[in-house]
């Protein structure tokens, strides 16, 4: 099993930062970036238009027509080192953590316990070998989960269910966002959120997060009984496992609804 390793967030956050500024085309692309606050709706559009224009004009003056160094971003009128630092700190968080924050902010309430366990790889070769082989990935997930088991019977059952689960794989984030949203939506048909509402968050996570170039793959271990991992409320079958290729991480999600 790979060692849990807290890798430096500088490279990841810098890569996300450059990706974000290189993909700005219009004012709408700034939404959710914290660069422009929408508290004052009367001036929000004007400030967004001005900043997006400044970003585009600065970028087009560069030799490669794109930002290649973080320092180049300070040449954009309206971007200060303080603002850039705050945005980079935000981007230093894992994609899983950003998704969890977004879910609690936009979709679910406190009676919904949503959590993830993360396996972080130190070496690219080991990451690719593990996540590129379905059996190896299943073994890594099972090995990690048994660390949280409550007894020997749970360990045996966790391994059995992981090894015998049918696995749905979604290599396209857009399609995966529907599958993950459906998993959340089936917790209760009388949800306080709509399917489209939760899918907006899952699509940011898996496909088009405005601040991330991360490529992610969703694996659903079909039929897995989550009561082996969490208790005290309602669970639904299937175990979502998300492979992040930029971060070299595997996020294992569990959720519990306390009515």
Q: Which residue's structure tokens are 């969490």? A: 230
Distances (CA, A) of 256 to 7, 74, 95, 150: 29, 44, 21, 17
What is the tens place of the pLDDT at every residue in 151-188?
777 899 999 999 999 999 999 888 999 999 999 999 97
* pLDDT tier at 45, thresholds 50, 70, 90: confident
- Which pTM does this prediction carry? 0.76
d(CA 206, CA 215): 7
What is the tens place of the pLDDT at every residue in 90-101?
777 888 998 999
């Amino acid at each position: 099993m790979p060692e849990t390793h807290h890798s430096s967030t500088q490279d990841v956050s810098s890569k996300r930062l450059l990706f974000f500024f290189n993909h700005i085309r219009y004012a709408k692309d700034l939404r959710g970036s914290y660069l422009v606050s929408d508290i004052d709706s009367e001036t929000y559009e004007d400030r967004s238009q001005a900043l997006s224009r400044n970003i585009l004009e600065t970028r087009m003056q560069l030799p490669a027509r794109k930002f290649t160094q973080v320092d180049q971003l300070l040449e954009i009128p309206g971007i200060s080192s303080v603002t850039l630092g705050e945005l980079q700190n935000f981007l230093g968080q894992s994609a899983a953590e950003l998704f969890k924050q977004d879910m609690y902010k936009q979709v679910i309430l406190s009676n919904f316990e949503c959590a993830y366990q993360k396996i972080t790889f130190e070496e690219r070769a080991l990451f690719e070998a593990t996540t590129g082989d379905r059996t190896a990935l299943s073994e890594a997930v099972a090995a990690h989960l048994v660390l949280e088991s409550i007894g020997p019977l749970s360990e045996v059952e966790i391994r059995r269910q992981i090894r015998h689960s049918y696995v749905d794989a979604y290599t396209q984030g857009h399609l995966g966002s529907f599958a993950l949203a459906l998993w959340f939506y089936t917790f209760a048909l009388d949800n306080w959120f709509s399917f489209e509402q939760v899918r907006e968050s899952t699509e940011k996570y898996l496909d088009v997060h405005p601040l991330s170039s991360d490529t992610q793959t969703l694996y659903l271990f079909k039929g897995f009984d989550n009561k082996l991992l969490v208790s005290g409320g309602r669970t639904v079958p299937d175990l979502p496992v998300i492979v992040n290729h930029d971060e070299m991480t595997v996020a294992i999600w569990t959720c519990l609804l306390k009515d």
